Amino acid sequence: MRVKRYIVDTMPDAMLKIRTDLGSDAVILSTKELKTGGFLGLFQKKKIEVIAAVEKEQTAEAPAPAASARTEPAPVQSVPSAPVPKRVVPDAYRKSSQAFAESMRQALNNDDADEPVAPPPAVRNAESAVPMSPLVQKPEGNEPTTVQQLAARFVETHSEEQMSEAKLFEELRQMKQMMAELTREKQLADLPEALQQLQAHLKAQGVDQSLVETWTGQIMQDSAGVAEMTLQKAKRAMKTQIEHFTAKRIGGGIDVSTKIVYIAGPTGVGKTTTIAKLAAEQLFKYKRKVGFITSDTYRISAVEQLRTYASILGVPLEVVQSPGDLQRSLQRLSDCDLILMDTAGRNYRNELLVSELQSLLAPMEQSETYLVLALTSKTEDMRIITNHFSKYPLDKVIFTKADETGSYGAMFNLLQEHPLRLSYMTNGQNVPDDLLMPSPDFLANVLLGEILP
């Protein structure tokens, strides 16, 4: 196959050049508008790039005109001015673009556009069946294109087709989602009034639609006389479902066999204050000897804050900046029953900063790793945070700032999506009072608005 590229002003100019160079059997592969010349982006001229090809065996070179002959070129029928399509590729070529692009890639080392390139059979058949399109544009000269340029053009064409398919699939997905929404609306209309009110409340709390439907569907399946269900009865049934959901996701407090607890989380969620509350609980309630380790040397006065808590509670404090420091600190605190380690708050969007914790959050025997999240965060942010920190072993989760929000659905969504167990909640800044160890009954009442945390 012989391939050439032309830069022209008009399509008739391109037709004339293609017929002269490649013969009447040539096929136009693509056309594209270009801008050339100008100064600082001004006064540019519009040109048209045309790529044409012909089987080399079928190429008929036009005879050179005799020196004595003054034959004028045959008049070219004018083509009415019309917008040039972005690309003109016959259906036969479009269907075989993948195979043709592959043959072009195999010839990438051949930089001579006039060298024969054997196209796949589907393309050869298409060439003989499809006449040359009259829609071409004018090149600047007879600059032969390279195989690399042609291959790149066909790869681009194929990418555009893939984008069209992606758009189609996206539209189908949206249509499917819309139909599912209509189905849900119909099912909601068939629900008793009491269950409709509960569903609306749970959605307002931020509970995912799938979780709400799971709980509601189970109530419809288990309850008799659903049509006459009162709001009070519906609440009791929903509370049972929520308690069943949370029962397997409650982690309790710090295990009695645990020797070291790592506390991780993003910035601003109250990790240091939570550590002080945990230390007070272990000291006063369980009579355990506690030690502090902090690696939070990035935040101003972070070490001083924990040092103040350590002084008030009468516990030793070690400051570390490297894994080596950590090992030495653990040895110095070896007489403690429990060591609580405060890590630096990290921007969860910065992969490098989050990965720095890996060297410090090395799981040991009899250790637990807690992720601290604030209930004032958006649901999507909590999901992203957990996904980032889940690259390192996480055991339990602590939700802080329960007193600063009236929406608790994100907590249940997270427990549904991740294998974390809920250990503690905090509902204020008072040490050691504002620390809760939630039960399934407590969580169900909070979500249903029966009590405040």
Question: Residue 122 domain-assigned?
Answer: yes
Range of the domain at 83: 2-64+72-162
Single residue among 130, 146, 162 that ends a domain in this structure: 162
Same domain for 265 and 155: no
Q: What is the pLDDT of residues 426-452, one digit of tens each?
A: 998 888 889 999 999 999 999 999 988
The residue among 130 and 30 whose pLDDT is bigger is 30
Residue 134 in domain: yes
Assigned domain for 308 exists: yes
Residues 140 and 285 in one domain: no
CA distance 245 to 239: 10
Q: Are 383 and 414 in contact (CB under 8 A)?
A: yes
**Structural domain includes residue 169:** no
DSSP states of 310-324 as a string?
Answer: HHHHT--EEE-SSHH
- Domain closes at, from 162, 193, 218: 162
155 and 267 fall within a common domain: no
Q: Is residue 218 part of a domain?
A: no
Q: Could you tell me if residue 344 is inside a domain? A: yes
Residues 410 and 280 in one domain: yes
**278 in the same domain as 155:** no
376 vs 162, residue with greater confidence? 376
CB-based contacts of 321, cutoff 8 Å, min separation 6: 295, 297
Examine the domain organization and report whether 129 and 272 are in the same domain: no
How far is it, in rounded angstroms, from Cα 333 to Cα 305?
20
**Domain for residue 174, yes or no?**
no
**The total number of structural domains that make up the chain:** 2
Pairing of the two strands 421-426 and 396-400 = parallel
For Cα atoms 82, 87, 88, give the angle at the middle one, nearest 5 degrees. Answer: 80
Q: Is residue 279 pLDDT above 70, yes or no?
A: yes
Domain boundary among 127, 162, 197: 162
Q: CATH number of the domain at 391, please.
A: 3.40.50.300
Pairing status of strand 367-374 against strand 260-264:
parallel
Inside any domain, residue 238: no
Q: What is the pLDDT of residues 214-256, one digit of tens each?
A: 999 899 888 766 677 888 998 999 999 999 999 999 999 999 9
Please tell me the least confidently modeled range out of 8-12, 164-168, 182-186, 368-372.
Answer: 182-186
Residue pair 310/292 in contact (Cβ under 8 Å)? The answer is yes
The alpha carbons of the chain give a radius of gyration, in whole angstroms, of 36
- Nearest CA among 450, 396, 399, 87 for reference residue 261: 396
